[in-house]
Amino acid sequence: MSEFTLTDLTDKLRECAGEAEDYDLDNDDVSEVPFLELGYDSLALLQVTGVLKRERGIELSDDEVIGVETPRALLQLINTALSVRGA
């Protein structure tokens, strides 16, 4: 499977938890903006990762997900899970 991108993640965030606050997810580089600043809490992240598990088989522990603070960190977890699954 190909790498999960920032665009993929922002699309899922929108789908599961709505539009970001004060940021344009399509045009702003939000990779290092804390999720809380974007308006997404841990429940929103868990909802996104639950959808990823159902749709793509990407399994992440709730503790890992709750511990991430930025989209870049979540992307690293997702892509690591994808590479382990693909190995």
Per residue in 1-60, pLDDT (tens digit) is: 589 999 999 999 999 999 998 999 999 999 999 999 999 999 999 999 999 999 999 999
The domain made up of 6-86 is a member of CATH 1.10.3720.10: no
Parse the chain into domains and list their residue ranges.
Answer: 6-86
* Bigger pLDDT: 85 vs 81: 81
Phi-psi region of 22 (alpha: psi -120 to 50; beta: other; left: phi over 0): left
Q: The pTM is what?
A: 0.91
Name every residue whose Cβ is closer than 8 Å to that of residue 64 and which is 6 or more positions away in sequence: 77
